[in-house]
Amino acid sequence: MVAVVNKSTFSKVFWPVLAWTVAIVFFFPIFWMVLTSFKTDADAVKPEHLIVFTPTLENYLNMIENYDFWRFAKNSVITSLFATTFTLFVGVPAAYAMAFNPSRHTKDILIWMLSTKMLPAAAVLYPMTFLTKNILGLFDTHFLIIIVLSLINLPIVIWMLFTYFKEIPKEIIEAGKMDGVSIWGEIKDIVLPLAWGGLASTALLCFIFCWNEAYWTVRLTTIDAATLSKLIEGNRAPEGLFFGRLSAVSTAAVGPIVVLGWFCQKQLVQGLTFGAVK
Amino acid sequence: MSQRTLPRLMQTPAVLLLLVWMLVPLGMTIFFSFIRYVLNNLRKPEWTTPSIDNWRGFGNYEYVLYKSKDFWFAVQNSVFIVGSIIVLTVALGLAIAVLINRSFPGRGMVRVLLISPFFVMPAVNAVLWINMLLDPVLGLNGLIVNGLNGVIDGLRDFPLLGNFFSFWPELQPISFRATQTSAYAVIVMVTWQWTPFAILIFMTSLQSEDQQQKEAAILDGASAWSQFVNLTIPHLARPIAIVIMIQAIFHLSLYAEIEIVSRGNGNKNLPYLIGEFASNNIGAASATGIFAVILANIVAIFLLRIIGKSLMD
C-alpha cells in the first residue's frame, strides 16, 4: 500500500514538472526573440546583458521609421485575407460535393489535388516569373499574390473541409431532401451550422499558411505587393549583426499570428487533424 | 438539373484552377528541359531565348545526371532531411502527447506554449535559430559554451580539485554553418516547428482512445509500456500516417531554411539545386525540376497507398 501511495505522489509531481519543462523548452526560442527585440544591437551580443539589460523600444521605432513596416504589414493582411476568402469560396462547394455526392473518381481527385502541392516550386519559378512579368504583366501585384496563395492552399483546404463534411451524418441531408430543401438551402441551413467549427479552423489555418508563405511572396514581388516575409528576407543577411533589429522585425511579423493562434487554439486543436481522428 | 450535374459543377472551379496551376508551369518546365536555354551567354546569344530551334533532346538530363556532381548528393540529402524530420517529430510528438494526456495544473497553458512554434513564419524560424541560438560565437550556443569554459577555468584554480579539472579540454561550440552540420541545423529548426503539429494530432486522437479497454488491460496487469505498444500505437496508426504524409508534402519543397542556414553550402536539397541552376542555366534547372517531380511522385504513390485506403471509410 505504501509503495502505491509513494508512486502516485511521485507521478503527481514528476510528470507535470516534466510537461512544464518540455513546454518551456519549446517556447524558449520565441521568448528569446521577443526579449532580444528590446535590447540594443550592441547589448544583444554581450554575455553580461543576456538577461539583465535596459529595455529599449529603439528597434521597433527604427523599424517603423526606416523600414516602411506598415506597408509590408498591410500587404500581408490584404493578401492573406483575400486569399483565404477566395480559397474558401472555391473550396467549400468542391469539398461539399465530394463529401456528399462522391463518385468513383472522388478519391483520385483528392489525391491528385494534394499531389499538386508536391511540385517543387523552384522548378516552376522561372516559367512563373517569365509568364507573370512578360506575358501577363501581373508581377508584383496584390492580385497575383492572392491567386498564388489561394492555389497553393486550395488542396489542403479542400482536404480539411472534406474530412469535416464527411463527419456530418448523411441522414440529416436526406431528411432535408425529403422536405424539398434545395442544395443551397442544404448548405446554408443544415451543413454550415454543423460544420461551422471546421470551417473556422480551416479558414484560420489557411490564413496562417498564407501569412507565413515565403517562397512566392518573396520572388514574385518587389515593392508594391511585398509582404512581411519579404521584409524578413531583406533584414536577415549579416551574420551576428543587428540581433536586436532582426528580433524586432521578426517579433512584429510573427506576433499577430502567434497570438491569433493562441486565441483560436481550441478550434485548431479540433480542426487540425486532417481526418486523422474519428 | 440531374442528380450528378450539380455536384460536378461545384467541383469544377477548384479542379480547373488546380489543373491550370499544375499544367502551365509544368508544361513550360518540360519544354525548357529539352532545349538549350541560358540567361546569359555572350558567345551564343541565340540560346538566351526559349525556342524550339535550340532543341537539345535529353542533353540537359544527361548533364544533370553525369556532369553535375551535386545531383545525387541533393537527392540523398533531400531524403535524409525529410526522413530525419519525420522520425524526430513523430517520436517527440508521441512522447509529448502521452505526457500531456492527463490533467495537471496549468495544462491549458502548457498546450498554448507547445503549439506556438507551429505559427512561426519559416523564414523567421530559420533566421532566429541560425543566428541567435546556434551561432557558435554570438548565439546562445557560443555564449553557453564560453560560459562553461569560464566555469571550468575557475575550477582549475582550486587546490587539489583543480588538478582534476586541468585535464578537461576547452569546450568548442559546434558551428552549424559548416558543411557537415548545416543539414542538422535545418533538421533541428524544422523539427522544432513541426513537432507541435504532431503533438496536436496525437493529442486529439488520444482523447478518443477506448478507456474501458485500457482499464481492462490494467486489471489484467499489463504494464504501462505494453499498454502503450499494444493499445495506444495501433489506435494512433492513422494519425501517424497523416502526420507523415502532410510533413512529406511540406518538407520535400523545403527552401528558405536551406538558403538561410548555409546558402546551400554542403546542404543542398533538390529544390535548392534547381534554384542554383536557375540563376543561369534554365535548361538544366528544368531538367532537375522534372527529376524532383519524379521523386515527389514516388514518395506520393508510396504514401497514398497507405493513406488512400482509409481515406474514404
Interface of B with A in 244-263 (CB under 8 A): 246, 249-250, 252-253, 255-256, 260
Q: Taking Cα atoms as reference points, which of A120, A107, A74 lies closest to residue B271?
A: A120
CB B89, CB B197: distance < 8 Å: yes
**Predicted pLDDT at A241:** 64
In this prediction, residue A2 carries a pLDDT of: 45
CATH annotation of A68-271: 1.10.3720.10
pLDDT digits (tens, 9 = 90+) for A13-41: 888 899 999 999 999 999 999 998 898 87
Angle at A252 between CA A247 and CA A257, to 5 degrees: 120
Instruction: Convert the pLDDT of each residue in B222-253 to its tens digit.
Output: 888 888 888 888 888 888 888 888 888 888 88
Partner-chain residue, chosen from B96, B110, B289, that has the shortest CB–CB distance to A123: B289
Q: Which residue has the cell 519559378?
A: A125
Put simply, the chain B residues between 197 and 236 with a CB less than 8 A from any chain A CB are 197, 200-201, 203-205, 208
Task: Please state whether A64 falls in left (phi above 0), alpha (psi between -120 and 50) or beta.
Answer: alpha
Q: Quick one: pLDDT at residue A29?
A: 92
Burial annotation B25-39 (CB, 10 A radius, 16+ → b, else e): bbebbeebbbbbbee
Query: For the domain with range B70-311, which CATH number is right: 1.10.3720.10, 3.40.50.720, 3.30.2310.20, 3.30.1600.10?
Result: 1.10.3720.10
Per-residue confidence (pLDDT) for residue B237, from 0 to 100: 83
Q: Inform me whether the pLDDT recorded for A1 exceeds 50.
A: no
Per DSSP, helices labelled H in A141-271 are: 142-167, 170-178, 183-185, 192-212, 216-219, 228-235, 243-263, 265-271
CA A185 vs CA A46, A171, B53, B123, B192: distances in Å: 64, 16, 57, 43, 45
pLDDT tens digits for range A86-129: 999 999 989 988 888 888 888 888 888 887 887 777 777 777 88
pLDDT of residue B267: 81
Quick one: pLDDT band at residue B85, thresholds 50, 70, 90?
Answer: very high
Q: How far does A113 lie from chain B, in Å, by closest CA?
A: 7
3-state helix, strand, coil in chain B (%, to 5): 75, 0, 25
Q: Is the ipTM of this complex over 0.90?
A: no
CA closest to B99 among chain A residues: A19
Check residues B283 and B49 and name the one with the higher pLDDT.
B283
B131 Cα to chain A: minimum distance (Å): 6
pLDDT by residue (tens digit) across A60-80?
888 888 888 899 999 999 999
Quote the pLDDT of residue B308. Answer: 63
Grouping H, G, I as helix, E, B as strand and the rest as coil, residue B38 is: strand
Cα gap A224→A124, rounded to integer Å: 23
Q: How far is B166 from chain A (nearest CA, A)?
A: 24
The letter for the amino acid at B303 is: L
Q: What is the mean pLDDT of residues A190-200?
A: 80
Confidence of residue A270 (pLDDT cuts 50, 70, 90): low
From B290, which residue of chain A is nearest by alpha-carbon distance?
A: A123
